Amino acid sequence: MYKRKGKIVYYNDYLRSNYLIGLSLIENNNTRLTNGDIQQLLEPNPSLDYKYFISETFKDIYYTDEENQWLDVVVQNISRLENPYKKALAYNALFQACLVKRPFNLFHRKNLYLRLAKVSRSFGNKTTWDKPFPDHFYHFLFEVNGLVFDNRRENKALNLDVSKVEGDFDLVYIDPPYTSQTGATVDYLQFYHFLDGLSRYDDWSRHIDYRAKHRCFRKDTNSWNNPKLIRQAFKSLFERFKDSTLVVSYREDGIPSIIEIVEYLEDLGKKVIVKSLSYKYVLSSNHSAEVLIIAK
């Protein structure tokens, strides 16, 4: 939105997959995939000795054998693109194709059977699940190509710990990891680890927790998913960007509480507005509220 308004936009995300999406559409102003690039991505190269890590590691977990083999080939074809923006566009399209073929658009459990079972369903879109990967990928390649535009600004995509982001900003939008009052963390990496794995195919194996049936990444312990440290993480973040307008996306039952967050911001001299919207989370029967905390 702000890029379209002609603003300089910096996008930072802890997940490498999200960073690549930002690189493809926010930092990238004018690079697009050509028809030749797309052809190179879709077809196996007979001169290459392909690895089949996905086929060997994720059998019967997320995708069929045929789909896993296709992913192995395409992700290695993407790695052969030399231009970083073209590579990011191709990853972006592949991520979208992977998501639409997943129940709940997540990689939180081993549940390929939900796609394959011949039963009536109250969720999901079997037509989308059954559409071949190449069709989805081809569609999203053209979609992301069409989203590239030049706002005549030098925008930037980053993949850093937020404490290492340099610069002064008029507005900072923050979508932090969420820890509930029970101490349970909604860890985005555990939901989307497969996409991050695709983005680091050659060293994917060293990140995997092989004890887990769904082959997720090993848990990354940091101050944002530690209930004892998360309050200080928020305070440090707010202090770092205290001269900016802050917009925090949050949920009503988190650690720290909304009251605590408002107090942290008011201690920095901010005028704070809180807006909320009720919703039901797709994987839970509980209702909660999405909260937007605006501090000027």
The DSSP secondary structure of the chain, one letter per residue, reads: -TTTTT---EEE-SSHHHHHHHIIIII-SS----HHHHHHHHS--TTS----HHHHHSBTTTB-HHHHHHHHHHHHHHHT--SHHHHHHHHHHHHHHHHHTSGGG--SS--HHHHH--S--SSS-HHHHHS-HHHHHHHHHHHHHHH----SS--EEE-S-GGG--S--SEEEE---EEBTTS-EE-HHHHHHHHHHHHTGGGGGGGB-TTSTT--BPP---GGG-TTTHHHHHHHHHHHTTTSEEEEEEETTBSS-HHHHHHHHHHTT--EEEEEEEEE-TT-S-EEEEEEEEE-
Q: What is the pTM of this model?
A: 0.92
pLDDT tens across the length of the chain (296 residues): 899 999 999 999 999 999 999 999 999 999 999 999 999 999 999 999 999 999 999 999 999 999 999 999 999 999 999 999 999 999 999 999 999 999 889 999 998 888 887 766 555 588 888 899 999 999 999 999 999 999 999 999 999 999 999 999 999 999 998 888 887 788 889 999 999 999 999 999 999 999 999 999 998 888 888 889 999 999 999 999 999 999 999 988 899 999 999 999 999 999 999 998 876 555 555 556 889 999 99
